[in-house]
Structures are given as C-alpha cells and as structure tokens.
Structure 1
Amino acid sequence: MIAVASLIVLIAVIAFSAVTKKNAGVVGLVAAYIFSIVAAKCGTEINVSKVVTGNWPTSVFFIVLATTFLFGIATLNGTTQALSKNIVCLARGNAKILPVIFFLFGAIISAAGAGGLIVAVIMPIALFVAVENGISVLMMSLVTMGGIMVGGLSPLAINGIVAQQLSVENNIIGESLSGYLPLWGAYATAMTLFSIGAYFLLGGLHPKKMENAATPHFTGFDKNQTLTLAAILVVLIGVIFFGQNIGLISFACAGVLLMLGAVDQKKAIAAVPWSTIILICGMSVLISVVNTCGGIAFLSDGLENIIGERTAQPIMMVLGGLMGAVSSGTGVVMPTLIPLSAELSQTLGISSISIVIGVIVGTNGVVISPLSTVGGICVGCAPESVDKDKLYNQLLLAAVSFIVMSVVLSFIGVFRIFG
C-alpha cells in the first residue's frame, strides 16, 4: 500500500507543480518529508531525519553548480555570445543545420571518451545558440543530448565500457569489438531516430527567426573572453584525456577566471541558477523516498511477472528505463539487469543479445530525463530567458516518449537486425 501511495504522491507533485508553476524541487522536498513521516509510522524502514542528507544528490548538485558557475562567467563576459555567433558562421548562416552540428559534435567528443557528462560543456553553448536563432530549446536539448548519448555508449566511454564488460563477463558477447557493435548499434539507432523525430516535429526546418543566422561573420574574442575560452578548452581536455572530474575542474577553472578578473565576482556568483539546482535536487530526494518505500520495485515486479518470449525485450526496455530514472545506469542498473538477461535468455530460450539490447536502450535512453544527471545538467544550462520548469516537464515527457518509441520499434522488429 505504501509503495502505491508513494507513486501517487510523485505523480501528484509533478502535476501540482505543472499547474501552479511552483518550483517542483521545493514541492518535492516538502512531499518527501511529510510522506517519509507517514511511511515511518506505517512501518517502513526510513530515517526521516536523514531523508535530505542521505538522499540529496551531492554529485549532481556539485556538477550543476560548478558548470553553471563557469558558463555563467562565460555568458556575463560575452564569451558564449561570441562563440555562438562563430558557430552560426560555421553553419554559413543556415540555422536549420545548427542542431545537426551539435548532434555530430556531441557524438564525436563523447565517443572519444568524454562520455555523457560532457553535456555540461556543450549544452550551454547549444542552448544559447538556440535562443539567439529562434530554434526550439526543447528540440536543441534533445538533439544535442541525443548525439552525446550516442557517443556515450562507444567502447571508449564509461557507459560503453561497462556495457561491454558486463556482456563479456556474462557470456553474452565475445571479447572482440565486433561482438559489442550490435549492442551499440541498436542504441545508436534508437537515439538517432528519436533525435531525427524531435528535429522535424519540433520545428527544426522552421526556426522562428533568422536574423542572426543571416549575417555569418567571424567574431573576435577580447582578453577576458580568450581566457574564458581557454578555461573551457582546459575542461574539455582534462575530462577527455586525463579523466578529471568535470565538476572539480569546472569549478577550479571558474575560480581562476575570477582571480584573473575575467568577470565581476558578485555578478558571477549571483548568476548561479539556484532555483534550477533546487528543482533538480529536490525532486531527486522525492524519487529516493519513493524508491525506499518500494514504489519502483512495485512497478518492476509487475513488469517481470508478465515477461515472455515476445515481450522480453520491450519489457526490459521499460524496466531499464524505470530503474535508470532513479539510480545509476552504469553503477546499478546495467550491473543488475545484464546478468539477469543472461538468465532469462536460458529460461525463455531466446537470444541473450536481444534482451540486453532492451536493457541498454532503456537504461541509457532515459538519461534525457531531468531526473538523471545528463538531463538535469541540461535544465541547469538553459539561459535565463527559458522557462526551466516547463523545460523540466517537457524533458520528463520526452524520456517517456523515447521509451514508448523504443518499445514500438522492438515490437515491429527493428532491433532484430542487431541480434
């Protein structure tokens, strides 16, 4: 009963916030506190005094804080604006291909080893370009994240490394790279199709205005902008080639810029989007309470009880999506579901690769949700002119739409070409 009630509370918080425009993080924290008291009274093992301290997403909090701090500096001293104009120049003034440029750029950088968290560097620029050129912010968010996540499952990026190693350890694929390519190919196909759909459905061919895109010319950088651009490059190089924590290196670079006088310190600190940070972290606390109360397990068990030969792959997509929305895909979901897939393949007598494709697509697809680190950073990176509460809700719906699309693709047999 408590498990079902926790899910009802989660839905109610999302609906209430959407209707009243109140910060969902604030509402979620209040709901998490009150519901945890009720759950404890009903016998659930939950420490009410540690609901926040134990469930506050410290890593996500620091990454969003550090990266928005750095790019807040870039916006204040004009670096983001100049970079935006030069990217438009690269597109030869054609605003229609700007999302495609960011998709490809994100895919290449992520696949080179940066992984999904490189969204913290690419997304602020992409969304600024979107706002300046009348491009749908939601569309640019989805297409840019789509490219980054396609690359994020490469055998050089952390998600891809984990997926490949677990599949090898459970005898699902061989140790050669060729064995892993079908898994990566299936996910890349799903995410690319979703990005293409987002591009066309959300107005990729019809930007609202073209003034900035119609005057392509290179914009020079002044001293402070050059320092800021160098700081961004240091972050990219540090993350891709030296495995540095993106939050720490971003904060360090922002601190150096302040010490060098590249921006006004008070304005830079004031520019940190605290309302967005509360939104992301507050909802994460509520989700953790729902998880502790058995809400996610209730949904997962219900799906497992109806699994069969034809439904195995789509159900694992949904299950991977549900679990991936509330816990680490690399640290929890894939290590849990990929071994389970090996067992199910023997029980059901079907291809283990087919089931694992379901796990990988579902688990890694929901990262576009603002409940995940990547989606949360995307919301945090949005310019001040963007309604972030609206974008938050839109990305939630987009994550659900991705899973629905993937399930449909599974039922019509698209993923059969991969195994």
Structure 2
Amino acid sequence: MMSLYVVAAIVLAVALGYTTKINIGLFAIAFAYLLGCFGMGLSPSEIIAMWPLKIFFIIFSVCLFYSFAIVNGTLEKLAEHLLYLCRNVPHLLPYAVFLTACLIAGLGAGYYTVLAFMAPLTLLLCQRTGMSLILGGMAVNYGALGGANFVSSQSGIIFRGLMTGLGVPESEAFINGLAIFASTMVIPLVVITAFVFFAGHGRALKNAAVAIETPSPLNREQKITLWLTLLMMLIVLAGPIAHILFPGNATVTFVNSKVDIGLIASVFSVIALMLKLGDERKAIASLPWGTLIMICGVGMLISVAIKAGAIDALASWIGGNIPPVLVALVFGVVAALMSIFASTLGVVTPALFPMVPPLAAAMSIDPMVLFISIVVGAQATSISPFSSGGSLILSSCADEQSRTRLFPQLLLRAAPIGFVAAMLFNLALTFI
C-alpha cells in the first residue's frame, strides 16, 4: 500500500509543480519527508541522507566552470562565428543550426542556456532566409538536446550520475552515456534530412540570401575560456577512454580512478577566477539552481519509493506483462508522455532509470537499450509547446503572428514527428 502512496506522491508532485509553477523538487522534498518519516518510520537523518550529494556536487562544480563561458560571452560569440561560416550554403542552414547548437551545448552551456540565446537567432534566420519556423525550431531544439547529452556536458553528466548511483560501473556508465549521445544525434539528423530533401523545405533555402553580419573576433578572455574548456573536456575524456582501450594497464587504471569531473571542474573554476575570465558572483548566479533543486528533490522522493518497494513492484509488473521485444518501446512511450509535462533531467530519468537494472537482469535485455529508449522517448516530445523546450522557442518569436503560426506546428507536427521517429528508433534498437 505504501508503494502506491509514494507513486501517487510522485504524480502529485509533478502535477502540482506544473499547475502552480513552483519547483517540483520542493514538493518532492516535502512528500519524501511526510511519507518517509510518518508513513515508513524512517528518521529525519535518513531522509536528509537521500539528498543525492554526488550528483549535486558534480552538476554544481561543472556548471560553475562552464558558466564563465556564458558570462563572458564566449559561447554566444562562438555560435555567431559558426553560423557566419555557413552563410554561403543556405540550403545547409538547418544542419548548421543543429550542429552549432550541439557544439555549444556540448561545450557545457546546457540545453536551456543554448535555447535561450540560439532560438531567437535561429528564428531571425528563418525570417531572413525562408527557412520554415518548424524546421528551424526542430534544428535548434534537437541540437541543444544532443549536445547537452555529451558525456562531459550537463545532461550527460546527470545520466551517468544516475546510472552509477544505481550500481552501474563507471566504465559501463561512460559507454552508456556515449550511446545515448550518439542516439540523440542520429534521430534528429534523419528527421531534419527528411524535412530538407523530401518535404520541400530545401527548395526554399537554395536561392535564399543569408544576411549574417561579420561577427567581431573573440577577445582575450573568450579565447582563454575556449581553450580551457577544450582542455578540461580532453582531460575528463582521456581517462575513461584510455581505460576502455587498455583495461589491464595498471597505470591507466590508477589515473582513471583519480579522474572525477566535478573535482577537475572545481580546479578549472579556480584557474578561471585567477585569470579573471569572469565575475565570480555573476558566474554563481547563472548556475541552474532550479534544475539542481528539482533533480535532487525528486531524487529524494525516488529514494523513498525504492525503499518502499515501488520501483521493484513496477519493474515486476512490466516484466510479467510486457514481452521483452516491446519493453524498450513501452519505456519510450511512457517517457515521452511524461516529458510533455515534466522535465527529462529532473523527473523522467530519475523516475524510470531505477527500473532498468532489475528489468534488464530479469528479461535478459541489455541495460544500454533501456537507458537509451528512456532518454530518446523523453526528448522526443520536448519540442511540444507545453514542454520547456517548445515554450522557450515560442517565447523567442519576434511577434505574436509568428507565435500563433508556430504553436500548432510544434504541437501537431514537430512533436508527433519526433515521437514517431523516436519510437521507430527504439524498435530498431531492440532488434539490433
């Protein structure tokens, strides 16, 4: 019975957060305390210990370092330069938008930050070149999502943290993270290609005149920030990749055991401050505090659900009622429906990832397939106008007329197309 109460609390926390616009994590913390202490007899100390400290520290420290690139304008300037380079091939502009958003997000800006400054620029390009709003919106949205899923960027770090928290070895979580990143890059490219070459959108772009002003060069602070960011990514990736290539080498194993992205990012943040690459107060203020509270708050409630046996019960029900060949598809559908109203990072993956290890073991399914299907499904509907990504794109429209025209296109075309593509991918992934 307590399992049902906890599941109901998760649903209620999401519903209350969506309707009241209050952070879902705050409701989740309250429900974790009330159900854990008064319903299950846990002590307050046990509830507080459920705060996912490791994930919190990693997100905090990594985002703190990456925030210098946001505060001093490095990422925005880099985006301008990349788009300027593509001015002579306007029919490839959707790919340029997608890859630019992906690169900027992969360098650590995170999904929401990239959309915040790339969406207005993309919609302006749509007006100047004849590129359709729906194609531009999909390109920037899915590019930001794919880049943020990179193993050393914001979403990728969260996915890896959730997996290791479930007992998945670090090396396996790293490989799973790379697979998630690759999957969320392939699907959008296929969808964009279908739009450009088979839906007639490419013809409108071929003869377009792209008016992009020559961007100013990067200043000293921006150049140093960019090189530091690339250096940190190289250091963070070198250890796990070397360990995968040389698993028996004692030196590689030792070095890899000392690599921690959160601690490395903390060192680089000190270097950035010493080099005066940005204002410390502005950098701290730009951290995604709302996302941190949501992820950790929901994580506490999910821990209570695990303690109550709710996750095992749901996994057992799926294992007994869903054929193995359809499990990935079902996870994708559930994640997509949840993502329409809830955050992928803060709600969907913390709620569904814990079911993967027991299900994968019971049904002889590769856990990687299920992890991928959850993320792919959740991000398929992120462009819905009711979701955070779609609403950010709508708010970037220059006028009410464009906003009115784009709303049904996102709801009735972009979201369904993304959903169908994701589900077909999940099915193919199961058989492959």
- TM-score scaled by structure 2? 0.60
Shift of 1:263: 1.7
Q: % of aligned pairs identical?
A: 21
**RMSD of aligned residue pairs (Cα, Å):** 4.9
Could you say which residue in structure 1 is the equivalent of 2:79?
A: 84
Letter in 1 for 2:54: S
1:286-345 CA distance string (max 9 Å, x none): 1221222122112111112224xxx2221255469889934896xx87765555444xxx
Q: 1:261 to 1:124 in 2, by over 3 A?
A: farther
Aligned partner (choices 200, 214, 222) of residue 225 of structure 1: 222
Aligned partner (choices 107, 110, 118) of residue 130 of structure 1: 118
Structure 2 distance, partners of 1:64, 1:370, is 20
Q: 1:15 to 1:285 in 2, by over 3 A?
A: same
1:268 equivalent in alignment to 2:258: no
Q: 1:151 to 1:341 in 2, by over 3 A?
A: farther
Letter in 1 for 2:35: F
Could you say which residue in structure 2 is the equivalent of 1:155?
A: none
Could you say which residue in structure 2 is the equivalent of 1:32?
A: 32
Q: 1:190 to 1:140 in 2, by over 3 A?
A: closer
Shift of 1:141: 4.8
1:97 equivalent in alignment to 2:112: no
Which aligned pairs between 1:64-75 and structure 2 lie closer than 5 A?
64-75=59-70
Shift of 1:128: 5.2
Q: 1:131 to 1:316 in 2, by over 3 A?
A: closer
- How many residues align structurally? 331
Q: 1:264 to 1:252 in 2, by over 3 A?
A: same
Preserved contact between residue 69 and residue 269 of structure 1 (Cα < 8 Å): yes
Q: 1:133 to 1:328 in 2, by over 3 A?
A: same
- The more displaced of 17-26 and 268-277 is 268-277
- TM-score scaled by structure 1? 0.62
1:121-144 CA distance string (max 9 Å, x none): 675774455234246788645444
Aligned partner (choices 162, 187, 206) of residue 193 of structure 1: 187
Q: 1:75 to 1:259 in 2, by over 3 A?
A: same
Unmatched runs of 5 consecutive residues or more in structure 1: 107-116, 153-157, 167-179, 207-212, 343-354, 372-378, 388-393
Tell me the secondary structure at the aligned position of residue 214 of structure 1.
coil
Q: 1:278 to 1:229 in 2, by over 3 A?
A: same
Shift of 1:368: 6.2
Preserved contact between residue 23 and residue 279 of structure 1 (Cα < 8 Å): yes
Structure 1 distance, partners of 2:115, 2:99, is 13
Could you say which residue in structure 2 is the equivalent of 1:374?
A: none
Letter in 1 for 2:46: K
Letter in 2 for 1:294: G
Could you say which residue in structure 1 is the equivalent of 2:297?
A: 282
Tell me the secondary structure at the aligned position of residue 305 of structure 1.
helix
Structure 2 distance, partners of 1:74, 1:290, is 38
Shift of 1:197: 4.9
Q: 1:75 to 1:313 in 2, by over 3 A?
A: same
Structure 2 distance, partners of 1:187, 1:63, is 19
Letter in 2 for 1:256: I
1:13 equivalent in alignment to 2:8: no
Structure 2 distance, partners of 1:105, 1:292, is 40
